[in-house]
Amino acid sequence: MVGLGETDEEIQQVMRDLCAVDCDVLTIGQYLQPTRQHLPVQRFVPPQVFRRLRDDALALGFRYCESGPLVRSSYHAERQRR
């Protein structure tokens, strides 16, 4: 989830860290505040940033990456199988 106040460099570092431990599937989605009692959204990430994050993930070596505002961990799960 992005949009909770993380920096772009922090996102890139997490992707590098995941690659370093042989993670090969990544999903990146927008945090959406479910209720007023939850943390507020710090930033809405534009679609072009999600596309860039996907491209960066694939360039790092992820086998598969879904990246978009409504992406969740099960998003298009059937496509993630080897």
DSSP β-bridge partners for residue 27: 66
Q: Give 22-42 pLDDT, tens digit per residue.
A: 999 999 999 999 999 999 999
Question: What pLDDT is recorded for position 80?
Answer: 59
Please give the backbone phi and psi of residue 65, each rounded to the nearest 5 degrees, phi first: -145, 125
The domain locations on the chain are 8-79
16's tokens: 């590098």
pLDDT tens digit sequence for 58-82: 999 999 999 999 998 775 666 655 5
Per-residue pLDDT, 42: 97
In sequence order, the 6+-apart residues with CB closer than 8 A to the CB of 66 are 26, 27, 28, 54, 75, 76, 80
